[in-house]
Amino acid sequence: MTERVVLAYSGGLDTSVAIGWIAEETGAEVIAVAVDVGQGGEDLDVIRKRALACGAVEAEVADAKDEFAEEYCLPAIKANALYMDRYPLVSALSRPVIVKHLVAAARQHGAGTVAHGCTGKGNDQVRFEAGISSLAPDLTCIAPVRDYAMTRDRAIAFCEAKGLPIATTRKSPYSIDQNVFGRAVETGFLEDIWNAPIEDVYEYTSDPATPREADEVIITFEKGVPVAIDGEPVTVLQAVQRLNERAGAHGVGRIDMVEDRLVGIKSREVYEAPGAIALITAHQELESVTVERELARYKRQVEQRWGELVYDGLWFSPLKRALDGFIAEANEQVSGEIRMTLHGGRAVVTGRRSRQSLYDFNLATYDTGDTFDQSLSKGFIEIFGMSSKIAAKRDLRQ
């Protein structure tokens, strides 16, 4: 039986050329697998037909938008996941769902190898290969761009020589990755970190400096899950999509940062994630109302580690699974409504209400009706500061 290779297929130049390239380099048959995580662009059936026209023996397409939103974006919302306190893991979240479909296709078609189009200096090569090895340790991985020096110039020459149905003349100045949770832009003039982004970099968001009326939105959560927008029930996918539109119209979710890649280099990235930022902002605020202090403090530590694991491609790791359990438990009381104003590039919380609220007006108020017994505070402070006081006396004697 001829060896088979499952290829993560996007429909673009590199992965289209990779079909024939892999066949020539390895003698294997190629099965192309395209996964729709809300990246937009061409119809998946068109992409499937292109893969077959480029030499794939089989081509599969999977509509994974709801799966991506429910099983990957939602955990990130519950975790308030922001890598380096800013990046909502747009690309990192999509890789494990793609990996899951690649492994399933390899099993179905009897393939022993999975291929992807990543370079040797990015994070995605790690995310694909670490994920595949976690789900299927017996499979091997290849990356034509990295392993066979498949440069763009060589890819174009191969495409033209074979008469492949791929446009090769137009080249975007940017490298772009996008899905329903957001959009990542890099390379081109952005590699000079002194250069400011220009408006044609953005697609999901409008210029926040353009005058427009503010938009007020109410987001309802149940146990950390967004279940309604302005009282209308929504799925997680619908919540992200609607807030992409509404928050994006006000320029919410633009991020320009230099981040620490897993491979050890720093990279300038421009992101836009209006729905993700609006939902995480709302979720964080509802947690501040409903989650007990010590649990909230510890969860913030867990959130950072969770985000690092996902960024580093360890979605299927034992630690990530264990932290998922903690985060799920921490969200048990995160139910209620958050009112936000979307305007001028910001999502600003203006109201909170929850039956699970730990906010007690009678304890918090300074007006008549205050039920807090202030006489207890003096003794509390004495005991609370005792160890520091004893240490200070010792230090003064020295």
Q: Which residues are annotated as a binding site for L-aspartate?
A: 119, 123-124
How many other CB atoms are found less than 10 A from the CB of residue 140? Answer: 14
DSSP assignment letter at 287: H
Please tell me the distance from the alpha carbon of residue 309 to that of residue 324, in angstroms, as a whole number: 11
Q: Which residues are annotated as a binding site for L-citrulline?
A: 87, 123, 127, 175, 259, 271
Please tell me the distance from the alpha carbon of residue 374 to that of residue 27, in angstroms, as a whole number: 80
Output the CA angle 305-115-146, nearest 5 degrees: 80
Q: Which residues are annotated as a binding site?
A: 8-16, 87, 117, 119, 123-124, 127, 175, 259, 271
Please tell me the distance from the alpha carbon of residue 101 to that of residue 116, in angstroms, as a whole number: 13
How far apart, in Å, do the first and last CA atoms of the chain sit?
82
Cite the beta strand spans of the chain per DSSP E: 4-8, 29-36, 58-63, 113-115, 140-142, 175-179, 182-186, 215-222, 225-229, 232-233, 254-260, 266-272, 336-343, 346-353
> Number of C-alpha atoms within 13 angstroms, CB side, residue 43?
3
Element (H, E) at 154: helix 152-162
**Which residues lie across from 290 on neighbouring strands?**
none
The alpha carbons of the chain give a radius of gyration, in whole angstroms, of 25
CB 236 within 8 A of CB 219: no
Among 146, 154, 175, 261, the active-site one is 175
Residues 6+ apart with CB under 8 A from 268: 186, 190, 191, 193, 256, 257, 258
Residues 6+ apart with CB under 8 A from 172: none
Q: How far is CA 7 from CA 92, 109, 226, 345, in A?
A: 19, 12, 34, 39
312 is catalytic: no
138 is catalytic: no
175 is catalytic: yes
Element (H, E) at 284: helix 274-290
**Pairing status of strand 175-179 against strand 4-8:** unpaired
Among 4, 124, 268, 335, the active-site one is 124
Just list the catalytic residues.
14, 95, 124, 175
